[in-house]
Amino acid sequence: MSKRLFNFCAGPAALPEAVLQQAQQELLDWQGKGLSVMEMSHRSDEFVSVAETAEQDLRDLLAIPDNYKVLFLQGGASQQFAQIPLNLLPDGGMADYIDTGIWSAKAIEEASRFGNVNVAASAKGYDYFAIPGQNDWQLSAEAAYVHYTPNETIGGLEFSWIPDTGDTPLIADMSSTILSRPLDVSRYGMIYAGAQKNIGPSGLVVVIIREDLLGRARATCPTMLDYTVAARNASMYNTPPTFAWYLSGLIFQWLKQQGGLDAMQRINDAKQQTLYSAIDTSELYSNPISPVDRSWMNIPFRLADDRLDKPFLAGAEERGLLNLKGHRSVGGMRASIYNAVPQAAVDALVAYMAEFEQQHG
Ligand SMILES: *Cc1c(COP(=O)(O)O)cnc(C)c1O
């Protein structure tokens, strides 16, 4: 018998148990074909149907309009930091970036290698505890696109609104928030997300791009990084990460069974309320983020005395509450409560937090 504990890892993150069981059941013999999905040609009818079904299910979940391509690529979200300017920033051109924390800073740093980056707004003035409102943004008229990070996985800041950039395409790194609630895809030029937070296993990054943004890659853009090449070849210019694609497809089906993204929104809203209210009503724990800008998916919190961090983490582990240690750059704690982390996990966490506070408060 295997035991499954509550996993609050920021990524690679918890996956739904039902999906892991299905993958286990199908591992040796996929749908009676006598081989594993990992052992099939990506060009076989069988795998192509796995791939197409996954794409259709993702399109259904997010209501992706027909004039968007969905690409299943490799290199993670980090590779997108370079791939975006190579495809969408003309030589000598300018792009607007919004700085809200560590991930947007990485995107800015990488894009600066390829062109002029205008940091149109920064949360630095708020110590990264709040998101500057759009009235304070200095967007440039000639920007090829505007890039932002709707959810900062490390800092725990999340936009509750979609920026209005007029005719300038809006690009979003949704790695840690995609599929957590419904989304109006039509507001974006492009959305991308590394899979290992809220989609599936690592090794895959999903790109959703409006068709009119294809065909703009620089002449020097490597073939493998050209969105147009990927789109023309249904993300199979070369061998894709077939197992990660398959498993992500199972997760899309699981999400549909849960009731889709409206249901996930209700569930995730309840989870975040449980945890933030436990933090806000305690004397021991605190979260510094401005309430309207708090992340639903990644919730950092500190103990009033950081000498209590170690005993807190040790006690959590004893109770089967895993991976609560904060990112090394910020310290403290962080609970990542993605789609696959159930309310029961959050309930167990807040019960432990109360118990620990009683003993040490
Ligand atoms: C995890 C993460 C990344 C990096 O993803 P990789 O797939 O490891 O490259 C980028 N952006 C955000 C917002 C993330 O959460």
In CATH terms, 18-257 corresponds, of 3.20.20.70, 3.40.50.300, 3.40.640.10, 1.20.1250.20, to 3.40.640.10
CA of 116 to the centre of ligand 1 (A): 23
List the domain boundaries for the chain.
Answer: 18-257, 260-360
**CA 252 to mean position of chain CA atoms:** 14
CB of 60 closer than 8 Å to CB of 259: no
CA of 12 to the centre of ligand 1 (A): 10
In CATH terms, 260-360 corresponds, of 3.30.420.60, 3.40.50.620, 3.90.1150.10, 3.30.460.10, to 3.90.1150.10
pLDDT at 1: 54
> Is position 238 annotated in a ligand binding site?
yes
Closest C-alpha residue for ligand 1 atom 7: 76
pTM (2 d.p.): 0.98
CB of 149 closer than 8 Å to CB of 173: yes
Residues marked active site are found at 103, 173, 197
CA dihedral 295, 296, 298, 302 (to 10 degrees): 70
Q: DSSP state, 282?
A: -
80 CB contacts (<8 Å, ≥6 apart)? Answer: 173, 192, 205, 207
Of 160, 197, 177, 156, the residue nearest 286 (C-alpha): 156
CB of 103 closer than 8 Å to CB of 156: no
pLDDT tens for each residue of 9-55: 999 999 999 999 999 999 999 999 999 999 999 999 999 999 999 99
Q: Is 250 in the pocket of ligand 1 (CB under 6 A)?
A: no
Q: How confident is the model at residue 216 (pLDDT cuts 50, 70, 90)?
A: very high
Q: Is 103 in the pocket of ligand 1 (CB under 6 A)?
A: yes
CA of 20 to the centre of ligand 1 (A): 23
